């Protein structure tokens, strides 16, 4: 005989398992005694369990979480303990699956909104992460050239400096491109390659590499990129400052000499694994070549090898010229 607790109602289904091995037949459906009603009602909406009063059939049965039932409880208290224990286990299992389903549903129905410009280097900085991790999103174009969008009160309410980009993740608003990249990496850590280490020492080296990029690369590549590319393209009325451009390239060249030494010992800037620190170099590094300076591929063999590895990523190739606007699904 097998007694099962119904999943949705506090009742017992009594089944007979004949010794001949024939299929079981339901013999009766009974309302449980008062001692069984409370546990069944407490767990019945979320869990269920099967109780066997016949040890010879125990090996043929399994609980809802896939565990074989090998014990029998001849007393009502035994049934209650058994029901409570397996109900609790199944509740945990069900809760885990519901969380997974919710996350999947959220990822399918909630589209990240990135407010930026397809030609912006900072928008590209975020876009390469979205494409590398294949995160569905929507790029909403902001006109920063005429400044008719980014100075509107509703825009300044999201990005108080009137800059781009900013991210809207179902009402959570975040600005500053590198902060957004870090957020995306942690928010979607199970998408694509890991771009931030979790080990304490590895993370410290990662933070060191991020600081190196900002202080020793972007500070000079940005000046050269603005003077050599952005001014002529978007602000033709502004004069080209050759002295400033030349000084920026000269200083950057000296900084890349140090990069050459670092990259002779390891594959990437923070170690042997690619991280956000490497990818942060892409937008302004690309501007150098657009402006006619190929220092990233001529400085030295190690810098060239490293730059080729990151700049040839399909995710970067997809956004380096112009980030696709609108909704992007993968």
| Location of each CATH 1.20.1050.10 domain in the chain | 200-317
Residue-level pLDDT at 284: 97
CA distance readout (Å), 42 to 37, 80, 118, 194: 8, 12, 55, 42
Q: Kindly tell me if the per-residue pLDDT of 225 is higher than 60.
A: yes
Least confident of 30-44, 186-200, 236-250: 30-44
Place of tokens 């451009």: 245
Radius of gyration, CA atoms only, the chain: 31
Q: Encode pLDDT of 38-63 as tens digits.
A: 443 333 333 333 333 334 444 444 44
Q: Are 267 and 275 in contact (CB under 8 A)?
A: no
Read off the pTM: 0.68
Mean pLDDT of the 211-235 span: 95
Q: Is residue 15 pLDDT above 50, yes or no?
A: no
CATH of domain 116-193+324-328: 3.40.30.10
DSSP secondary structure letter of residue 184: H
Looking up tokens 């007694």 gives 3
* In the chain, ranges of CATH 3.40.30.10 domains: 116-193+324-328
pLDDT tens by residue, 116-168: 999 999 999 999 999 999 999 999 999 988 888 999 999 999 999 999 999 99
Percent of the chain at pLDDT > 70 equals 67
CB of 307 closer than 8 Å to CB of 289: no
Q: Where do we find the tokens 């006619």?
A: 292
Q: Rounded to whole angstroms, how far apart are CA atoms 300 and 303?
A: 5
Tell me yes or no: is domain 200-317 CATH 1.10.3720.10.
Answer: no
User: Which residues are CB-neighbours of 78 under 8 A, at least 6 positions away?
Assistant: 72
pLDDT confidence tier of residue 6, bands split at 50, 70 and 90: very low
Q: In what order do the strands lie in the sheet with 326-328?
A: 172-175, 166-169, 112-116, 137-141, 326-328
- Confidence (pLDDT) at 100: 63
């Amino acid at each position: 005989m097998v007694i099962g607790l119904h999943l949705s109602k506090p009742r017992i289904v009594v089944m007979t398992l004949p010794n001949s091995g024939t299929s079981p037949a339901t013999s009766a459906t009974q309302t449980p005694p008062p001692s069984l009603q409370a546990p069944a009602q407490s767990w019945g909406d979320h869990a269920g369990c099967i109780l066997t009063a016949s040890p010879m059939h125990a090996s043929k049965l399994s609980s809802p979480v896939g565990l074989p039932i090998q014990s029998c409880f001849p007393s009502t208290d035994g049934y209650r303990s058994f029901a409570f224990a397996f109900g609790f286990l199944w509740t945990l299992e069900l809760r885990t699956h519901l969380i997974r389903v919710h996350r999947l549903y959220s990822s399918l129905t909630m589209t990240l909104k990135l407010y930026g410009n397809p030609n912006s280097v900072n928008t590209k900085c975020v876009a390469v992460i979205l494409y590398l991790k294949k995160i569905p999103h929507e790029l909403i174009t902001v006109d920063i050239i005429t400044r008719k969008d980014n100075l509107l009160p509703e825009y300044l309410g999201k990005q108080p400096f009137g800059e781009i980009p900013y991210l809207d993740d179902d009402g959570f608003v975040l600005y500053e491109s590198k902060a957004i990249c870090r957020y995306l990496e942690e928010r979607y850590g199970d998408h694509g390659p890991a771009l931030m280490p979790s080990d304490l020492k590895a993370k410290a080296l990662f933070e060191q590499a991020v600081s190196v990029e900002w202080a020793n690369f972007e500070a000079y590549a940005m000046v050269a990129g603005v003077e050599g590319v952005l001014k002529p393209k978007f602000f033709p009325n502004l004069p080209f400052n050759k002295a400033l451009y030349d000084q920026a390239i000269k200083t950057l060249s000296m900084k890349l000499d140090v990069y050459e030494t670092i990259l002779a010992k390891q594959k990437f800037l923070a170690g042997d694994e690619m991280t956000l620190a490497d990818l942060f170099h892409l937008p302004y590094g690309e501007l150098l070549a657009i402006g006619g300076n190929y220092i990233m591929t001529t400085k030295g063999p190690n810098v060239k090898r490293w730059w080729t590895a990151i700049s040839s990523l399909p995710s970067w190739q997809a956004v380096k010229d112009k980030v696709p606007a609108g909704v992007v699904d993968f």
